[in-house]
Amino acid sequence: MSTVIATEQIEQKILLIHGHKVMLDSDLAELYGVQTKALTRAVKRNLDRFPGDFMFQLTPDEVEDLRRQFGTSKGRGGRRYLPYVFTEQGIAMLSSVLRSKRAVQVNIMIMRAFVRLREMIASHKDLARRLAELEKKYDSQFKVVFDAIRQLMEPAKPGPRRIGFHARR
């Protein structure tokens, strides 16, 4: 494969929808180096390989929520259909449908990204469990320390975006 795709780049494209970690068809097509319509066409020719827990189509409300979340506009032109999203199993199935060396290599990288995310989530849960055990063990004088650690473990909440040109100081 001529271009290397960073695991972090893949992880940024993994979304949580319906309680599943998924990737959009357009993001996958970009990674595979094909047009979205070519990817969708290959999937539709092999629909029996993609049950509902491997792939599903977003609703108009979900698409609108994604637009708001990522700050994109509808623009002119664009898609004529609602996007499909693929779960980890659906992405694994894509390499057999697309049948290219690049698809296989990209799938390997995507699977590694999913595994890495699972490991991070598991270690976060383990850390929270250990913290709870320590909190029970020690008295209230350490409560401030435990509260501070819990705050650090929470995901950062994005602040309001400033719009317009801002000079660096």
Which CATH number does the domain housing residue 58 bear? 3.10.260
Residue 56 lies in domain: 7-122
- Establish if 116 belongs to a structural domain: yes
When divided into structural domains, the chain yields a total of 1
Average pLDDT, 10 consecutive residues per value, the chain (169 residues) = 64 85 91 90 92 91 82 61 90 82 81 80 75 71 69 66 60
Tokens, residue 158? 């994005």
> How far apart, in Å, are the Cα atoms of 114 and each of 50, 135, 145?
19, 32, 32
Distance of CA 63 to the CA centre of its chain: 15
Output the pTM of the full model.
0.63
- Establish if 154 belongs to a structural domain: no
- Establish if 138 belongs to a structural domain: no
Strand ranges across the sheet with 84-87:
15-17, 20-24, 84-87, 55-57
- Establish if 129 belongs to a structural domain: no
CA distance 22 to 54: 9
- Establish if 155 belongs to a structural domain: no
